[in-house]
């Protein structure tokens, strides 16, 4: 791949030099006034170049499909993901079909009707029928895609409480995520960034006077039960972030000062998706690269195991690339067992309890918050 890129750069440099030479030649005074007029040979030559370029763009398209299809996301792991993917592939198919036909006609007619000595171009000043045809067809196709997209979006944005959804808050801050569950009552307590108190481990600004906050559970690893709808409530502490869960085809901005929402139903557990042929192949290819790094003594070379992941899809700062959270989709029984092992906000903050806790609860959240504050302070004051 490196060799191909190097060759491409060299070719482009050669073309640039050639073009600069032609420009220099054209800028010089010529004794023959006809030197700047294209001849039949020039037009024929350019026509052949059109066909060569047509073959090139078709070839690079076929090559890209063959080479890079394997890096696409595996099948969607959410209930709405299939319809989302179908809309995308239909849009791609239409685009590629139209592009293939129009580019072929453009280059063919560019050659067939090239300039020739003694031939006079024939053209229409306007043609109402042709203009109607090439206007109405795109209008119908685009209107269909837009209406289908709006219908799909309406179905995806089905955020309601009618299906007894699990309520989860995703809290974004530079440069980490924190998740909060509603506890036994499945109701999130009130919260505000003005109530954040790091010294009391109240890192999300929960209102301690709100009874719904007492059983809230704060964690640094997101667990979701398969087959159950999840309503996400999203907040940002500082700048604009975007909660992006690619394997579930889910994304929503996290905006400071407001709560945004998104909802989906996971359909494939983490253990099941790891057996997906596309995922197995990706893990194999990734670990092959990491094995080479390990042999060379390079960092980040440990064997990798696939996990669902929550990412930030906005460039939110210097450590944006590292803003992610592991997502585990499991059975209802496994989820219930995990959630029962977590400590509540009341146990860790409101009661002032200092007993040893699980490594996935508020202690870790506080540690992450303090680490983030330190990193930001160092970035803002690099000389300190």
User: In the sheet that 222-225 helps form, which strands lie side by side, from edge to edge?
Assistant: 222-225, 324-330, 308-312, 241-245, 250-254
> What span, in angstroms and rounded, lies between the C-alpha atoms of 176 and 369?
8
Angstrom distance (rounded) from CA 39 to CA 17: 24
Taking only the tens place, the pLDDT of each residue in 100-138 is 999 999 888 888 888 777 777 777 777 888 888 888 998
Q: Which of 271, 182, 197 is nearest to 233 (CA)?
A: 182
**Cα–chain center distance at 251:** 8
CA distance 373 to 239: 14
**What average pLDDT does the segment 8-12 reach?**
81
Question: What is the distance between the alpha carbons of residues 115 and 39, in angstroms, rounded to a whole number?
Answer: 8
Q: Are 76 and 247 in contact (CB under 8 A)?
A: yes
Query: Among 113-127, 169-183, 282-296, 334-348, where is mean pLDDT lowest?
Result: 113-127
Indicate the pLDDT class of residue 227, thresholds 50, 70 and 90.
very high
Q: What tokens does 193 get?
A: 């960034």
Q: Residue 378: is its pLDDT beyond 50?
A: no
* Tens-digit pLDDT profile for residues 353-372: 433 444 455 555 555 554 55
What are the CA-CA distances from residue 373 to residues 173, 218, 219, 234, 378 (Å)?
A: 10, 19, 19, 21, 9
Give the contacts of 34 (CB within 8 A, at least 6 positions apart): none
**Residue 288 burial by Cβ neighbours in a 10 Å radius (0-12, 13-18, 19+):** exposed
User: Helix (H, G, I), strand (E, B), or coil: what is residue 232?
Assistant: strand
pLDDT at 376: 43
Q: Tell me, what's the pLDDT at 367? A: 55
Instruction: Calculate Rg over the CA atoms of the chain.
Output: 29
Identify the bridge partners of residue 93 per DSSP, sorted by sequence position: none
Question: What's the pLDDT at 27?
Answer: 63
3-state secondary structure of 32: coil
Torsion of CA 309, 312, 318, 321, to 10 degrees: 30
- Residues 254-279 have a mean pLDDT of 93
Calculate the CA dihedral of residues 135, 139, 141, 147 and round it to 10 degrees: 180
Is the pLDDT at 24 greater than 90? The verdict is no
Report d(CA 137, CA 126) in Å as an integer: 18
pLDDT of amino acid 109: 87
**382, 238 Cβ separation under 8 angstroms:** no
- 376: left (phi > 0), else alpha (psi -120 to 50), else beta? alpha
Kindly list the distances between the CA atom of residue 132 and the CA atoms of 99, 100, 102, 129, 143, in Å, as whole numbers in the listed order. 20, 22, 17, 5, 16
The torsion of the CA quartet 325, 309, 179, 263, rounded to 10 degrees, works out to 160
State the pLDDT confidence band at 31, using cuts at 50, 70 and 90: very low
pLDDT score of 347 more than 90: no
Question: What's the confidence (pLDDT) of residue 251?
Answer: 93
Query: How high is the pLDDT of residue 36?
Result: 66
Cis amide bond preceding 83, omega within 30: no
């Amino acid at each position: 791949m490196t060799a191909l890129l190097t060759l491409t750069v060299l070719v482009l440099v050669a073309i640039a030099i050639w073009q600069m030479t032609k420009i220099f030649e054209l800028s010089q005074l010529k004794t023959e006034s006809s030197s700047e007029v294209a001849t039949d040979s020039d037009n024929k030559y350019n026509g052949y170049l059109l066909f060569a370029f047509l073959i090139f763009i078709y070839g690079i398209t076929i090559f890209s499909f063959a080479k890079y299809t394997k890096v696409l996301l595996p099948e969607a792991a959410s209930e709405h993901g299939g319809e989302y993917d179908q809309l995308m592939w239909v849009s791609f198919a239409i685009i590629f079909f139209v592009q293939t036909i129009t580019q072929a006609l453009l280059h063919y007619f560019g050659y067939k009707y090239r300039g020739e000595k003694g031939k006079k171009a024939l053209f229409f000043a306007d043609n109402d029928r042709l203009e109607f045809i090439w206007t109405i067809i795109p209008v119908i196709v685009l209107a269909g895609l837009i209406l289908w997209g709006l219908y799909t979006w309406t179905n995806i944005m089905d955020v309601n409480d009618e299906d007894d959804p699990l309520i989860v808050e995703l809290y974004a801050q530079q440069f980490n995520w924190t998740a909060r569950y509603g506890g036994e009552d499945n109701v999130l307590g009130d919260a505000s960034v003005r109530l954040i108190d790091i010294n009391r481990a109240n890192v999300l600004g929960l209102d301690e006077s709100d009874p719904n906050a007492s059983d809230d559970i704060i964690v640094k690893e997101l667990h979701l039960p398969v087959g159950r709808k999840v309503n996400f409530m999203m907040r940002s502490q500082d700048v604009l972030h975007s909660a992006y869960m690619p394997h579930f085809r889910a994304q929503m901005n996290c905006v400071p000062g407001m709560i945004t929402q998104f909802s989906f139903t996971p359909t494939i557990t983490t253990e099941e998706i790891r057996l997906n042929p596309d995922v197995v192949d990706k893990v194999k290819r990734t670990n092959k690269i990491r094995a080479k790094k390990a042999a060379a003594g390079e960092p980040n070379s440990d064997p990798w195991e696939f996990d669902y992941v929550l990412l930030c899809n906005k460039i939110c700062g210097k450590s944006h690339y590292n803003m992610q959270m592991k997502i585990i989709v499991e059975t209802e029984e496994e989820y219930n067992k995990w959630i029962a092992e977590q400590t509540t906000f009341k146990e860790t903050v409101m009661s002032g309890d200092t007993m040893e806790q699980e490594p996935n609860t508020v202690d870790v959240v506080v540690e992450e918050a303090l680490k983030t504050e330190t990193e930001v302070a160092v970035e803002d004051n690099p000389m300190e």
